[in-house]
Structure 1
Amino acid sequence: MTELEELHAFGRNIQQDVIAHADAAEDGALRAEAFTEIVIGYLAEVGEIDDGISCPFEARGMRCSGYYLSEDNDRLDLFLTIPRLDGAAGTTSKTEIDTGFRRLFTFLEKAIEGIHQGREEALDGYDMARSIWQARNDISHVRLFVITDGLATIERIEDETLHGIEISSHLWDLRRIHRAVSSGTGHEAIHVNFAEMCASPLRCIISEPENAGYRCLLAVIPGDVLVEMYKRFGPKLLERNVRSFLQLRGKVNQSIRKTILDEPQMFLAFNNGLSVTASGLALEDHGDGTVTLISAEDFQIVNGGQTTGSIFRASRKDSADLSRLQVPVKITEILSGGDVEEIAPRISQSANNQNKVNMADFSSNHPFHRRMEELSRSIWAPPAPGLQRQSRWFYERARGQYHDALAQNKTPAQRKAFEAIHPRRQMISKTDLAKFEHTWSQLPYIVSRGAQKCYLDFMDVLDRRGQFLPDDAFFNRAVARAILFKETERIVSRRKFGGYRANIVTYTLAWLSHRTAKRIDLEAIWNRQGLSAALSNFIDTLCVHAHEHITNSPGGQNVTEWCKKERCWESFRDMEIDIPPVLEDELLSREKARTQSTRHALEEQTTAQEAELIDRVAAVSAETWFALSAWAKDTQSLQPWQRSLSFSLGKLAGNGKPPTRKQAMHGETILVDARKLGFRG
């Protein structure tokens, strides 16, 4: 297949993904927003960006499709998409692209000036513009992305500045996206030319252990060179790092900053430096165990994200002089035959001793994802009402698997048959799964933090659970949760709230999960491949309450930021909303729900430590819990949900039944807090 044919096929896949994502809606705005979400996902997957939020904004001479603001407000990414959605891999003209960058730049300019003040607060664009305005004094670098599923011919776009802020422009057309996702590496390889970057040759000590499949270079890189690298490549430089830069919240980062500012000459002695993987090193060998490093391919900092981010921040925020800063670096070149995807995480985990690390391998090769993939290829879903044909839910543990599987079918008839069995609307990515599971686990504030942060948190939870592998029952229930989420998205879209759909959906379903004690009949949803009329109707009512809650934030604070706070969830969780009797009749009994969730739900799997916690809480007498509940009511010392849980724990203890993991966790905290406040039971 020629490159043009591959691009045509890739363009058609994007077109069909958008149609499936927008639920075949003819609404051009919905499809444009779906296109934005999909291509932001591509850029995040290949490591070009940390994350992004689809957020359409259009006014005279201005347009923006989405944004991402780093946690310390230092870096802003703005996205403008030009969707063709014709599957033809046609040309997107220079005029369209130039106009796109100009309108995106104008939006940035007006947002910094405060355009949100004339914008309706209920719309997504208000939050985006307001966030940029609030961060205007902190932003040091803005990246403008114009993304299209057409082919572009522009090769160079000059960088600009605005009010002292560095602005770089990045064009991603169909060809560039396709090359990035199909390169086999999952990202665009970084090429670093040290001969150009360094004022003097970079001399290194070299060692190549026999039959080890790698060689190591030990070097010292000037601080200003590291800043320049981070400026050029951003988060792509840290793609294989097992965690992102944690800003300046921890003592380690604060210590790094203090050394940079107060004792830069001591940095080499105090700091452990960076661990880097690379390939294709260009070296000048001096024959004495030293070499000069000229350039490196696929340069990745796998340990040292804290150091890199702190140095970059000190340069931008504190105008630190980095001329005397020397950063120790170990560069490991994976030689032919070595597996960089397997070796890099091990280097990262072994070298990472500046901050405590408790996390899983975030790659798609994790056993959990492999098992989900296996199940999705073998389990047939029941036919939907009125249909006879069964289908499968396709789990995509690595981006592009669905398209690759579809491409294995050579003829149109074969592809049509494949799509009949594996409908695009029944494709679930690993980031989708994290969103569905965390919503059911009543963590909407984490889901609201974006796809990548939600996924990392989900994998951290999975890692703490130990060796959990899904079985058929878990897969079926996970798909039921996916159906519940996707159907709720459609219900919320029909409401036309004007913005915040993602937040409304996760808060709606988290409340439903909490208030029903997870007694929604997931098995019935799986068997029906849809929702009952009673459940759909109540979700339609409930989402109105969720929308009203999140858009009436305390003190008029940013709605998007408010949704990311646990306090937002706690106040909505306690809201009294009557569940209709017709839906109550459909709920599982508490005993059946507890049995199913304990056996199959990921959030209820217990470690040895959690089992001990459950035993400790179960050993507390019913009388103690009832007394605590009464004391809390009389003194108003605890929140209503804590008093309610205390009473529930008393009933469980009286019936000789153990609490769930989550009940035990909250119960022990409640008991400790109550005794500090004067409870003597």
Structure 2
Amino acid sequence: MTESEELAQFARDLQQDVFARADAAEDGALRASAFTELMIEYLVDASEIDDGTACDFEGRGMRCSGWYLSEDGDRLDLFLSLPRLDGEAGTVPKADVDAAFRRLSTFLSRSLEGQHRSMEAALDRYDMCRSIHDARNDLSHVRLFVLTDGVATIDRIENEMIGRIEVSSHLWDLRRLMRARSSGVDREPIEVDFGRLGKPVRCIVATPPDAGYRCLMTMLPGDILVEMYRQHGPRLLERNVRSFLQLKGKVNQGIRKTIMEEPEMFLAFNNGLSVTASGVKLMDHGDGTADLLSASDFQIVNGGQTTGSIFRAWRKDSADPARLQVPVKITEILSDGDIDDIAPRISQSANNQNKVNMADFSSNHAFHRRMEELSRSIWAPPAGGLQRQTRWFYERARGQYHDALAQNRTDAERRKWELIHPRNQLVTKTDLAKYEHSWSQLPHIVSRGGQKCYLDFMDVLEQRGNFEPDERWFERAVARAILFRQSEKIVSRQKFGGYRANIVTYSIAWLSHHTERRINLGGIWATQELTPALTGFVETLSHHAHDHITSPPGGQNVTEWAKKLACWEGFRDLAIEIPAVLKAELVTRDGARTADGAHVFEEQVSAAEGEQLARVSAVPSQTWFDLAAWAKDTQSLLPWQRSLSFSLGRAAGNGKPPTRKQAVHGEKILTEARSLGFKG
């Protein structure tokens, strides 16, 4: 197949993916938003961005389709989509691309100036514009992305400065998207030429025999690190590390203080960087040392805090990075080494400076492999009066669906395969995490975005240890997927004007909590749809969820409010009458535990955990209330510990046992409180 034929097929696949996501709706706005969501997922998988949220805004001379702001407000990504959705690899005129970048740049400028002040506060575009304005003094770099399913050519766009903010422009067209998906790697590799950055770097080289790698120990001047970060930004940081950065933490404050006040002590005080690379080019001196000339696929697997802090001190505080010496260990994975095995273990072992619960987030995790296996063998019941059975396709790695589809040579074979594996029954790893965490009553975590939700899901999975989904669990997981996806359609019909993702996850979490997970998931799996009673109540819940989420206390940012445990606790405690017709559909408590609870890995307990649950359950409710009051009076515990103590007291008073996670934290809180003088 020629490149033009591959591009045309890729364009058709993209078109059908968007139509499936938008449920083939005629509404062009829904299709455009679905296109943006899909493109953001592609960029995340390519490690180009951390995450992103689709959010449409159009005004005079300006447009924006989505955004992502880093946790510390230092970096902003803005997206503008130019979807053709004609299934053809047509050319996008250069004038259209140029105009798109101008409109996105104008949107940025107006948002920095405060255009949110003239907008309705209950809309998600208000939240986007306000967040950009609030971050204006912290921002150091903004990336403008124009995304299209056409083929475009454009000259290099030089970076520009808006005050002290560097703005760079990035075009992702059909050809670049296809190459990223078919390249066989998770990202476009970063190539570092140390000669161009300054001069070759002298290293000590060690190559353990039969290990599949070699190590280079060196020192990098801070100005070289700044230039690398300026060129490549967060792409320089391996995703697992980048996702866990807490850039306002004490560690970063300490790093900044050393940079500003004692730069000569930086080498002594800092643990330095751990880096993985391939294709390292050296000039060997024959004495165990060499000059490092260049390296490809350069990724910092430990030292994100250090790298970001040095860059920020240079950008914001005019610090001189040339005065800093940063210790660096570079591990080159050799041709006989297994990078998928070695690199995650280096990342896990290296990340001890900050407490990080590192899991193997790769698609090769045993859980994902088992889900893939089940999805290829389990037939779903016919839906909507059809006689044909289908399968739900679990995609543990981006592109598996299209790769499987491409194995069918003729159009007739492709159509037959798609009938069995409909595009709207494709479930990705991040999708699954979103569905499971909503059902596990963690909507505030789901609201933090797809990647953070997925990482938290994997962390929970890793803590459970050796969980292997079976056929029953897979069927219930698909039922939860159906519940979530049909809830999305219900919410879309309400035309709230934004925050659909938050409304859906909060509605499902409330439903899970107040029905004690007694929704008939088996029935949903059997019919592949929601009952009218459940559909109607989800619609009712969505209005309550919208009102709650868009009315944050103190006028705070809606997006940030939805990410907080306090937001969930407030909505969870909201009294909403469950209709009698829906109550009649609920399964019994024993039935729910048999059909679902025993297969939910978060709730599986070992013998030791069972004993712990019993101990915590035996603590009287008044003890927990007394502990919460004592902690507030003495300021002896953290706010979340006081809140959990009160929640445990309320649950005990209502005769409800704690969850496994509550029991773990509850026992620790009780032990800590007694060591600090609590007498209960």
TM range (shorter): over 0.9
User: Is the CA contact 1:240–1:301 (under 8 Å) kept in the aligned structure 2?
Assistant: no
Q: Distance in 2 between matches of 1:217 and 1:38?
A: 39
Q: Distance in 1 between matches of 2:472 and 2:183?
A: 36
Structure 2 counterpart of 1:43? 43
Structure 2 counterpart of 1:514? 513
User: Is the CA contact 1:55–1:66 (under 8 Å) kept in the aligned structure 2?
Assistant: yes
1:162 matches 2:155: no
User: Is the CA contact 2:617–2:652 (under 8 Å) kept in the aligned structure 1?
Assistant: no
Residue pairs, 1:246-257, within 5 angstroms: 246-257=245-256
The amino acid of 2:26's aligned partner reads E
1:318 matches 2:317: yes
Distance 1:7 1:538, change over 3 A: same
| Alpha-carbon distance, 1:628 to partner | 7.3
Structure 1 counterpart of 2:451? 452
User: Is the CA contact 2:150–2:173 (under 8 Å) kept in the aligned structure 1?
Assistant: yes
Distance 1:520 1:230, change over 3 A: same
Structure 1 counterpart of 2:365? 366
The amino acid of 1:555's aligned partner reads G
Q: Distance in 1 between matches of 2:576 and 2:674?
A: 32
Distance 1:574 1:286, change over 3 A: same
The amino acid of 1:182's aligned partner reads S
| Alpha-carbon distance, 1:255 to partner | 2.5
Q: Distance in 2 between matches of 1:228 and 1:88?
A: 40
Structure 2 counterpart of 1:262? 261
The percent of aligned pairs where both chains have the same amino acid is 68
Structure 2 counterpart of 1:203? 202
DSSP 3-state at the match of 1:170: strand
The amino acid of 1:287's aligned partner reads G
Distance 1:51 1:630, change over 3 A: closer
Distance 1:632 1:107, change over 3 A: closer
DSSP 3-state at the match of 2:321: coil
Distance 1:196 1:676, change over 3 A: closer
Could you give the per-residue CA deviations for residues 98-120 of structure 1, whole angstroms, max 9, x where no partner exists? Answer: 00000000000100111111112
Q: Distance in 1 between matches of 2:310 and 2:194?
A: 19
Structure 1 counterpart of 2:86? 86
For structure 1, which runs of at least 5 residues remain unmatched after alignment? 653-657
DSSP 3-state at the match of 2:448: coil
Structure 1 counterpart of 2:98? 98
User: Is the CA contact 1:395–1:427 (under 8 Å) kept in the aligned structure 2?
Assistant: yes
Q: Distance in 1 between matches of 2:291 and 2:189?
A: 22
1:60 matches 2:66: no
Could you give the per-residue CA deviations for residues 316-340 of structure 1, whole angstroms, max 9, x where no partner exists? Answer: 2322211110111111222222221
Q: Distance in 2 between matches of 1:506 and 1:628?
A: 29
Q: Distance in 2 between matches of 1:238 and 1:323?
A: 21
DSSP 3-state at the match of 1:323: helix
Q: Distance in 2 between matches of 1:62 and 1:286?
A: 57
Between stretches 269-278 and 507-516, larger displacement belongs to 269-278
Could you give the per-residue CA deviations for residues 324-380 of structure 1, whole angstroms, max 9, x where no partner exists? Answer: 101111112222222212111111222222123322101111111111000000111
Structure 1 counterpart of 2:122? 122
DSSP 3-state at the match of 2:236: helix
Distance 1:608 1:219, change over 3 A: farther
Distance 1:188 1:317, change over 3 A: same
DSSP 3-state at the match of 1:378: coil
| Alpha-carbon distance, 1:675 to partner | 9.0
Distance 1:669 1:573, change over 3 A: farther
DSSP 3-state at the match of 1:143: strand
Structure 2 counterpart of 1:180? 180
| Alpha-carbon distance, 1:300 to partner | 1.0
The amino acid of 1:132's aligned partner reads I
Distance 1:602 1:163, change over 3 A: same
Structure 1 counterpart of 2:610? 611
Structure 1 counterpart of 2:637? none
DSSP 3-state at the match of 1:44: helix
User: Is the CA contact 2:348–2:359 (under 8 Å) kept in the aligned structure 1?
Assistant: no
1:485 matches 2:484: yes
Could you give the per-residue CA deviations for residues 69-112 of structure 1, whole angstroms, max 9, x where no partner exists? Answer: 11111111110010011111110110000000000000001001
Between stretches 373-382 and 204-213, larger displacement belongs to 204-213
For structure 2, which runs of at least 5 residues remain unmatched after alignment? 634-641
User: Is the CA contact 2:622–2:649 (under 8 Å) kept in the aligned structure 1?
Assistant: no
The amino acid of 1:61's aligned partner reads G
Structure 2 counterpart of 1:20? 20
Could you give the per-residue CA deviations for residues 572-622 of structure 1, whole angstroms, max 9, x where no partner exists? Answer: 1100000000000011112222333431012212256633421312444xx
Distance 1:211 1:515, change over 3 A: same
DSSP 3-state at the match of 2:376: helix
Q: Distance in 1 between matches of 2:46 and 2:269?
A: 33
Structure 1 counterpart of 2:639? none
User: Is the CA contact 1:629–1:646 (under 8 Å) kept in the aligned structure 2?
Assistant: no
Structure 2 counterpart of 1:134? 134
Q: Distance in 2 between matches of 1:536 and 1:389?
A: 24
Q: Distance in 2 between matches of 1:582 and 1:377?
A: 36
1:11 matches 2:17: no
Structure 2 counterpart of 1:655? none
User: Is the CA contact 1:646–1:667 (under 8 Å) kept in the aligned structure 2?
Assistant: no
| Alpha-carbon distance, 1:643 to partner | 5.2
Distance 1:669 1:348, change over 3 A: closer
User: Is the CA contact 1:64–1:104 (under 8 Å) kept in the aligned structure 2?
Assistant: yes
Distance 1:241 1:265, change over 3 A: farther
Distance 1:216 1:668, change over 3 A: closer
Q: Distance in 2 between matches of 1:20 and 1:230?
A: 38
| Alpha-carbon distance, 1:676 to partner | 11
Instruction: Using structure 1 for the length normalisation, give the TM-score.
Output: 0.93
Distance 1:643 1:278, change over 3 A: closer
Structure 2 counterpart of 1:335? 334
User: Is the CA contact 1:241–1:303 (under 8 Å) kept in the aligned structure 2?
Assistant: no
User: Is the CA contact 2:561–2:567 (under 8 Å) kept in the aligned structure 1?
Assistant: yes
Q: Distance in 2 between matches of 1:518 and 1:253?
A: 42
Distance 1:262 1:612, change over 3 A: farther
Structure 1 counterpart of 2:427? 428
Structure 2 counterpart of 1:566? 565
Instruction: Using structure 2 for the length normalisation, give the TM-score.
Output: 0.94
Q: Distance in 2 between matches of 1:413 and 1:556?
A: 57
RMSD: 2.5
User: Is the CA contact 2:363–2:396 (under 8 Å) kept in the aligned structure 1?
Assistant: yes
Structure 1 counterpart of 2:32? 32
Q: Distance in 2 between matches of 1:197 and 1:667?
A: 52
User: Is the CA contact 1:13–1:403 (under 8 Å) kept in the aligned structure 2?
Assistant: yes
